[in-house]
Structure 1
Amino acid sequence: MIVALEGFLDAGNASGLASGDLLENSSSRVVASFEVDEFYDYRARRPPMTFFEDHYTDYDAPRLVVRLLHDDANTPFLLLSGPEPDSRWEGFAEAVRQVIEHFDVRLVVSLGSVPMAVPHTRPVQLTNHATAKRLLISTNVWAGEIRIPSSAQSLLEVRLGEWGHDATGFVAHIPHYVAQFPYPEAAAAMLRQVAAVTGLSWDTSELEQAATERRAEIGSQVADSDEVRSVVEGLEQQYDAFHTGGPNLLDGTDALGDALRETGELPTGDELGAQFEQFLAGLDQTEEDTP
């Protein structure tokens, strides 16, 4: 079963794009539905509705459901998608457990994404996590212990491990300066890893084409700002240091700071903020102009 929830762990809408691509390219039917009123905070995330001239015409009610789909080889799998629960996380985890045991699910794979100080010009990095080391298929670029804000999705994995169910997942690192915009490259990268760990197969060419177009849009905006370009160049050097064994933040050397300093005098925080506002406004305009 693939778990892709909207909300906290969905920078760049990566898991949303991934689940949307799976749904678009496979027939599906709902096999389990959660009582969303038990988990959803309507005032924090107000669902959209339409007002036409003098009356309300429709309401997009949030849905948290499990669907049965098939991959390109007609292998069945389940997809849990919808908004991340705002409350009753333990109850949610127990409900998912019932679904897993009812359908005899052998492996749960979760998708997530977070904003990180990484450049859009390099391949997407993924953090692989699991309830047991035998389930890991890749080595993360750093090792250590950090305290992070929790999520319903991460708590679900903890509980599944305690209940004896195998669970793994991938968290994509999204360039922080575009984290509020769709980032299809991360969606494609996560689906490739899900295929590797599960044996499922699907075509990600549509996501990859969208990723190429998105990179071109971002590159065009970056080229218009010397300040933003210098920051991206610094992030590129930091990224490359991780993958070449050179100095990096993890061994106590501020490689990003060194890289930025090598590009010349650093802009102030206010200058960077103003430049990024212009940068994001340009992307937003591009998004609006795209059919």
Structure 2
Amino acid sequence: MLDPHELYQLTDDLPELGQPVLIQALTGFVDAGHATRLAREHLLSTLDAQPIASFDLDQLLDYRSRRPIMTFVEDHWESYDEPKLELHLLRDDAGTPFLLFGGPEPDLQWERFTAAAIALVGRLNVRLTVGLNAIPMAVPHTRPTGVTAHATRKDLISGYEPWLQRVQVPGSAGHLLEYRLGEQGQDAVGFAVHVPHYVAQSEYPAAAELLLASVSRSTGLLLPTEGLRSAAELVRTDIDRQVAQTDEANALVHALEEQYDAFTRGRAGSNLLGPTGPLPTADELGAELERFLAEQGKPGDGPTG
């Protein structure tokens, strides 16, 4: 393996951090409702953020699979949306310092990247790493948003009930980081918020709000969520308006509600990633409702004609 320390540059001018929490918010794998991105952008826009480390993305990113945006105006290239993978220092509403690690998930050199991230965890004396994710599930927007919690030690997520039994899913760099931290005896937690899969391609701020609330609950950080809460209310109103336009859409949401309620009454042996009971399958319900909402316009786009 090439030297992991050569993947990043860390500023020399660091204040006293104590034992900070590190929030990992990489995007590019599964980010239903763009919840991870929304949570990261909300923290960066509402709290003072100081970049303290940057990674060499030329070593990590496959530009052909995720081409950055360039803007062309008349006869010249005006701008280039340069991708960045950075570690920021922020302070919560009580002034407590914490770290936010965000940007595109590496496509390449996962083991080297993971070793570099773990080296930073050690150098900065991080006491807990928290990963954010958002997954599409067969849940209705009319029920409380759920979250799957996982950790390197069970007592780190006491109070959370499992939503899934044993499943195999494609890996991600963020999940590999949590796994490798656990192998080394380091504390790490992850939260995967459940987004109704018929709105998974649209921005769903309710999921981002729950991610930050989950981080606050597990770490004691006082993270701001008011802006996300207001945005979530607007999106909820828009979805309700669109669904109310036809009996068909109402029936589909009602079927998902019945499936959700049956699941919560007896979770053992079930999961909301697949079909349950005599109801139409989750994929059938979600695909039909997604089709309807796409015809009406995405949530948050405003009234449609």
Q: 150-159 vs 281-290, which deviates more?
A: 281-290
Match of 2:297? 283
The amino acid that maps onto 1:10 is D
* 1:79 matches 2:93: no
8 Å CA contact retained: 2:163, 2:267: no
8 Å CA contact retained: 2:36, 2:134: yes
Q: 279-288 vs 93-102, which deviates more?
A: 279-288
1:163-188: CA deviation from partner (whole Å, max 9, x where unpaired)? 22110010011101000001100111
If the length of structure 1 is used for normalisation, what is the TM-score? 0.89
1:187-233: CA deviation from partner (whole Å, max 9, x where unpaired)? 11111110011110022111011001101111111122333322211
Deviation at 1:286, TM superposition (A): 4.9
Q: 2:207 aligns with which of 178, 186, 202?
A: 186
* 1:104 matches 2:145: no
The amino acid that maps onto 1:8 is F
The amino acid that maps onto 1:277 is R
Match of 2:193? 172
1:23-82: CA deviation from partner (whole Å, max 9, x where unpaired)? 111111111111011111111111111111110011011000100000000000000000
Deviation at 1:272, TM superposition (A): 8.1
Alignment partner of 2:62: what SS?
coil
Deviation at 1:247, TM superposition (A): 9.2
* Count of aligned positions: 280
In structure 2, the CA distance between the partners of 1:247 and 1:141, relative to structure 1 (3 Å rule), is: closer
Q: 240-249 vs 147-156, which deviates more?
A: 240-249
Separation (CA, whole Å) in 2 of partners of 1:171 and 1:234: 24
The amino acid that maps onto 1:221 is Q
In structure 2, the CA distance between the partners of 1:143 and 1:179, relative to structure 1 (3 Å rule), is: closer
Over the residues paired in the alignment, what is the CA RMSD in angstroms? 2.5
Q: 1:199 aligns with which of 202, 220, 228?
A: 220
1:79-104: CA deviation from partner (whole Å, max 9, x where unpaired)? 00000111111111111011111100
In structure 2, the CA distance between the partners of 1:229 and 1:62, relative to structure 1 (3 Å rule), is: same
Separation (CA, whole Å) in 2 of partners of 1:275 and 1:242: 20
**How do 1:8-87 and structure 2 match up within 5 A?**
8-87=29-108
In structure 2, the CA distance between the partners of 1:37 and 1:239, relative to structure 1 (3 Å rule), is: same
- Unpaired runs of 5+ in structure 1? 262-268
8 Å CA contact retained: 1:28, 1:69: yes
Q: 1:138 aligns with which of 138, 153, 159?
A: 159
In structure 2, the CA distance between the partners of 1:77 and 1:274, relative to structure 1 (3 Å rule), is: closer
8 Å CA contact retained: 1:217, 1:283: no
Match of 1:227? 248
Alignment partner of 2:140: what SS?
coil
8 Å CA contact retained: 1:185, 1:208: yes
Match of 2:176? 155
8 Å CA contact retained: 1:64, 1:80: yes
Deviation at 1:15, TM superposition (A): 0.9
What percent identity do the matched residue pairs reach?
A: 45
More helix by share: 1
8 Å CA contact retained: 1:113, 1:173: yes
* 1:218 matches 2:232: no
